């Protein structure tokens, strides 16, 4: 099999709003895994959580503000453009079509990975990408069940695997523990508190200027 020509990371989410937890995860994995770029992929209509508070347009604006001076991060709007429910298998199939010789790495926090078997057509996802599990110190993986079986079959210990194969591996990668959530930030805005330093200043200013998250 031909070695991939490059390796890119894929970080999906509602980004309602994008915050420093998202950005640190993307940057640390970009450096640790020696990725060519990380695609930030905001969903249009999430299938496992409530609808975003901010519109797709405003969420895109906030991401543009947040990453405008960071060349390693790229805003990928394909799920917004596609509209409808944002099933990641559809996104991966599009990406594989667009980047046939590129290794694709889905970047997931541990909490998201533990719910992976509830994803639409989850058994097909590793046919199109690798999964990178970003974990914090003292993390714990399950000892039994579908997730444990998946790890037993697909877990890799060497970063070189993602650069030598287009898809199919699961890797564990530690990141700086930042306990930040978008729901926490929205709640602070709604309560008149100051969430500065949980998100980039440009995003904070955009939210204030557009009176987002006040209800």
pLDDT tens, position by position, 107-147:
999 989 999 999 999 999 999 999 999 987 767 888 999 99
pLDDT averaged over every residue in the chain: 95
Q: Is the pLDDT of residue 1 over 60?
A: no
State mean pLDDT over 78-103: 97
CATH class of 6-177: alpha beta
| pLDDT, tens only, 145-193 | 999 999 999 999 999 999 999 999 999 999 998 889 999 999 999 999 9
State mean pLDDT over 26-48: 96
The pTM assigned to this predicted structure is 0.96
Which comes out higher in pLDDT, residue 199 or 50?
199
| pLDDT, tens only, 58-73 | 999 999 999 999 999 9
Identify the pLDDT of residue 54: 97
Q: What is the 3-state secondary structure (H, E, C) of the chain?
A: CCCCCEEEEEEEECCCCCCHHHHHHHHHHHHHCCCCEEEEEECCECCCCCCCCCCHHHHHHHHHHHHCCCCCEEECCHHHHHCCECCHHHHHHHHHHHCCCEEEEEEEEHHHHHCHHHCCCHHHHCCCCEEEEEECCCCCCCCCCHHHHHHHHHECCCCHHHHHCCCCCEEEEECCCCCCCHHHHHHHHHCCCCCCCCCCHHHHHHHHHCCCCCC
């Amino acid at each position: 099999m031909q070695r991939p020509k490059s390796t890119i990371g894929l970080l999906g989410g509602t980004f309602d709003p994008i915050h420093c937890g998202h950005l640190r995860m993307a940057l640390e994995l970009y450096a640790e895994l020696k990725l060519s770029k990380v695609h930030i992929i905001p969903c249009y209509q999430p299938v496992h959580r409530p609808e975003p508070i901010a519109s797709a347009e405003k969420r895109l604006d906030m991401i543009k503000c947040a990453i405008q001076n960071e060349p390693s991060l790229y805003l990928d709007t394909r799920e917004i453009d596609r509209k409808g429910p944002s099933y990641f298998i559809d996104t991966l199939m599009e990406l594989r079509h667009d980047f046939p010789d590129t290794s694709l790495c889905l970047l997931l926090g541990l909490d998201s990975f533990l719910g992976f078997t509830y994803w639409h057509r989850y058994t097909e996802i590793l046919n199109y990408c690798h999964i990178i599990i970003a974990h914090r110190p003292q993390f714990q993986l399950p000892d039994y069940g579908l997730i444990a079986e998946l790890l037993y079959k697909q877990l890799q210990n060497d970063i070189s695997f993602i650069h030598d194969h287009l898809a199919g591996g699961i890797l564990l990668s530690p990141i700086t523990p930042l306990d930040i959530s978008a729901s926490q930030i929205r709640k602070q805005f709604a309560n008149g508190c100051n969430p500065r330093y949980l998100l980039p200043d440009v995003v904070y200013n955009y939210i204030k200027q557009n009176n987002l998250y006040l209800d």
